Structure 1
């Protein structure tokens, strides 16, 4: 996928890269403010800035643009946008100006949902994303396992490098939590284990825009922003793909002006940009993480529609969304992300205020195909969709820095086979460089190294009776031939919360299938100091209830089918 990048030119002309029958000329993506690179002159077209609109019309296959000064110097991205804004006022229509601005901003993405009628409820299906259709065999499964590990590591770096909110924003969020208690209805949406789509998360399907269009989004408790992959230029139908949001086709899509306090103050927490070429220009965002991944796009308000469980229909208006193009190919099978973080900007905040301040999900087995689903629910149900195999247990949600906006939990310790391990208490304390979060968007559970080493040592003895294999699965330290494997011989892993609740996942959630005939200890070691992550594989076959209004997390074992 191409990226907009500065290129040297002695003429002060705009240079456009062009899709041809021979392929696309691309260049390396560079972070903002990094040293610009010089692009070879072949496959590029030089045009005068005044001719930008004509070029857009006559060359619908144009994909990228960069500008250099007349003296050959590089114009910074901020200066570039200001320059184009001046030209746009002379030569371009509003719609083409928006397109051009988005090209300059990069619009490379990564980073809504529903309301109910009185007494109604709505359901989104939870789909597991893992594996590719039509692929099979040990080699393919090993490749997919490697991809899941790689994505988990990238994601861990992402969520640990996010900018943390200021105290004022925290105070605003706490004040608004009181509003959650007013709702007394519920909504649900099918949630599917997406084994058949190639990545390690779960997805929901929901309808966005007017008229509504269905999108397949990752259900992500680690993301603030709900975003969709967007396309702004309707003259390039050859670049459209199923599931791409077309803002021009929605009558309720409303951008947020870059001159507004919402953009300049509130959305700074979501990395809104300071550039504002014109007061009515859309508020843009730019996420950049320590691993080099990046997301760019614009903020907007949109309407999301859903069918309620009661049989009615409801629209939730004014939902904050991001309109993006995503550069991480791991998420190519899906259309975006449903932000479920504990943030006033996430969909959780919007839906929780409508539906009693809580949401829950029950994740089917992570190896399930897309025809098997459970549900993501906002509000309460009289009875769970799937029978619980034990009573709900509750523990406190940690709502403090530096874990915000993630869902922190207060762990006392871990045990293996009933024996409490001697893990240092600092590992679990968020005010001492540690802490633990529960995250639906991470597949494998990650433990900071002091905890990991003790857990690994306690489980290794029971696994050593099986033939160890070396399949180059990176940080998955222990893999073995599963011939003759019996779960009953593996000691029970347990997480003990400080207020007395104990979480005991099934063995299959921490001794996982990596490929046919191969199992691995499904835990990863991450650097200390840092926080540990309870991933979605460890969460599978349990109902999880996030009660934001009361600040507690409930869980109970269930088949989730």
Structure 2
């Protein structure tokens, strides 16, 4: 991905103020869902055109984005305080938001349909568990000269749109660490932000509050009032191709995830279909317990592990104890998994592949290379993967099982296709990328696929279970 100045990814707004869900009253019956839209879904027709890519070209671009994203994550390592508010809102339904893959636009991420303003205007935003702000490309204060472009949020047409004044306490204190611009020529001037990226991409705009309309699982709609959004008035570069903005799902005070989750049981979940699924397959980003929608619920072989919230803000960190291949634990130095020693692991929807810090990457690759050594190795053609082979006679059942082991006993065992991946016809590759050490290891969205993931922010745990996600 692309990188902020001083650091951020695609749309990572690093916030140093903490957030804690302790004390919330979770009494909600049903969830809200956002559909996960596959990259070939017809709903994406009409978006900005993108040159046709081969599967290998697509993976090359995803790896470049992932490596940049990892640099950003490794750079930002700090501590938060903690604060929280009680919320006693009781709902009879939960949020359900359509979510679609954006891989054809080179993001390696998923798009979510979001309706902003009154009356509602609909956009496709990138669902990013590493981002701290929801922002959308927008126009404000231009009256009849705003034009009619459907991919822009016309703020003047929203009766609930309220810019945050730069002289307000919210701007000066609450948004101080959210890349707020220091400029304040008059008390009523909107509180601005400016983001720059290492690839030259730039996003400039200002903070505001507006209404977000969501679909509920009981068939009704609900308006979430006074949600913090970013009104991005100009962008430069190719970093946002195919998207209208970003839906912040990171763990921080003003993200959509924390705001929506605390209204709906303190939980949100998603299930990512296989990245090679047919174009008509999609899924949902859900806020709530999903009690009345069993196909999106954690049922059957469910495991839970602790979420280390606030340890590597704003990411969802987990405590890994080791990796096994074929039931045998690999010899990996424990410091790789220790946040206090410069290591640690996060679960990230915005990174495509799985990045392992060098002391873990090397033994994993050695073990898997041995497992596939019977197949003809293919010479790299400047591709992103270290080890690829001819998969003409590949037998998946002979591949030893790969598993992440968590400190509290849980074990995540993804399907073989999530770590030995198809990158071109008759070509498979070991789907890992080395990460610098010291540094953070990342469980990316391809590794997460075909599992339902439920982030319980109130109980500080994440649950996962195998699922077809359909």
Q: Given the two structures, how large is their TM-score scaled by the length of structure 1? A: 0.73
- CA distance in 1 between partners of 2:328 and 2:11 (Å): 46
Aligned to 1:123: 33
Is 1:159 the counterpart of 2:73 in the alignment? Answer: yes
**1:363 equivalenced with 2:277 (yes/no):** no
2:304 alignment partner in structure 1 = 394
Using the TM superposition, give the Cα deviation of residue 253 of structure 1 relative to its aligned residue in structure 2, in angstroms. Answer: 1.5
Matches within 5 A, 1:33-182: 121-129=31-39, 140-162=54-76, 164=78, 167=80, 170-172=81-83, 175-176=84-85, 179=87
Q: Which residue of 2 aligns with 1:59?
A: none
Contact 2:290 2:296 in 1 (8 A): no
CA distance in 2, matches of 1:514, 1:521: 10
Matches within 5 A, 1:236-255: 241-255=149-163
Structure 1 residue 547 and structure 2 residue 461: aligned? no
Assess, with a 3 A threshold, how the Cα gap between structure 1 residues 209 and 136 changes in structure 2: closer, same or farther.
Answer: closer
* Cα distance, 1:279 vs structure 2: 0.9
CA shift in 2, pair 1:121/1:454, >3 Å: closer
1:367 shift after superposition: 1.7
Instruction: Give the secondary-structure state (helix, strand or coil) at the position aligned to 2:378.
Output: coil
Higher helix share: 1
The question of 1:262 aligning with 2:191 is answered no
- RMSD between superposed Cα atoms in Å: 3.0
In 2, Cα distance between equivalents of 1:119 and 1:551: 20
**Per-residue deviation at 1:161?**
3.4
Distance in structure 2 (CA, Å) of the matches to 1:392 and 1:452: 27
Report the Cα offset of residue 149 of structure 1: 1.1
Residues in 2 aligned to 1:427 and 1:439: alpha-carbon distance in whole angstroms: 18
8 A Cα contact 1:130 1:144, kept in partner: no
SS at match of 2:262: helix
Deviation, structure 1 residue 473:
4.7
Partner of 1:405: 314
- Corresponding residue of 2:364: 455
Q: Secondary structure at the match of 2:139?
A: coil
Supply the distance in 2 between the matched residues of 1:334 and 1:361 (Cα, whole angstroms).
Answer: 19
Note the alpha carbon deviations across 1:438-461, whole angstroms, 9 max, x for none.
000110111111100010011001
Tell me the equivalent position of 2:98.
190
Contact 2:29 2:91 in 1 (8 A): no
1:19 is matched with which residue? Answer: none
Change (3 A) 1:205 1:227: same
Q: 1:420 to 1:330 in 2, by over 3 A?
A: same
SS in 2 for 1:230: strand
SS in 2 for 1:211: coil
User: 1:202-241 to 2 correspondence within 5 Å?
Assistant: 202-232=110-140, 233=142, 241=149
- Decide which structure has the larger Cα Rg and report it: 1
CA distance in 2, matches of 1:545, 1:498: 18
Distance 1:309 1:183 in 2: 11
Any idea what SS the aligned residue of 1:440 has? coil
Report the equivalent of 1:317. 225
3-state secondary structure, aligned to 1:412:
strand
User: Are 1:193 and 1:368, in contact at CA under 8 Å, matched by a contact in 2?
Assistant: no
* Distance in 2 separating the partners of 1:228 and 1:543: 28
The equivalent of 1:488 in structure 2 is 397
Partner of 2:20: none
1:129–1:201 contact (8 Å) kept in structure 2: no
Shift of the 294–194 alpha-carbon distance from structure 1 to 2, 3 Å rule, reads closer
How far apart, CA to CA, are the structure 2 residues paired with 1:160 and 1:251?
41
Look up the SS of the partner of 1:252 in the other structure: coil
Residue-by-residue CA offset, 1:318-367 (whole Å, 9 max, x unaligned): 11111224445243111111111011110011101210101111111112
- Flag the structure with more relative contact order, 1 or 2, with Cα contacts below 8 A and sequence separation at least 6: 2
Tell me what 1:465 maps to: 374
Contact 2:200–2:237 under 8 Å retained in 1:
no
Counterpart-to-counterpart distance in 1, 2:50 and 2:425: 13
CA distance in 1: counterparts of 2:358 and 2:259, whole angstroms: 37
Q: Is this contact kept in 2: 1:388–1:556, CA < 8 A? A: yes
Quick one: distance in 2 between partners of 1:528 and 1:130?
37
Q: Map 1:285-296 to 2 at 5 A.
A: 285-288=193-196, 294-296=202-204
Residue number in structure 2 paired with 1:304 = 212
CA distance in 2, matches of 1:164, 1:290: 22
Q: How many residues align?
A: 443
Q: How far off its partner does 1:285 sit? A: 1.4
Q: Which residue of 1 aligns with 2:244?
A: 335
SS in 2 for 1:454: helix
When residues 109 and 359 of structure 1 are mapped into structure 2, their CA distance, relative to the original with a 3 A threshold, is closer
Report deviation, 1:195.
Answer: 4.2
Q: Match for residue 425 of structure 2?
A: 516
Check the 8 A contact 1:389/1:558 in 2, yes or no: no
- Note if contact 2:128-2:249 (Cα within 8 Å) is conserved in structure 1: yes
5+ long unaligned stretches in structure 1: 1-29, 33-107, 112-117
Map of 2:16 onto structure 1: none
* Shift in alpha-carbon separation, 1:496–1:347, aligned structure 2, 3 A: same
Q: Which residue of 2 aligns with 1:434?
A: 343
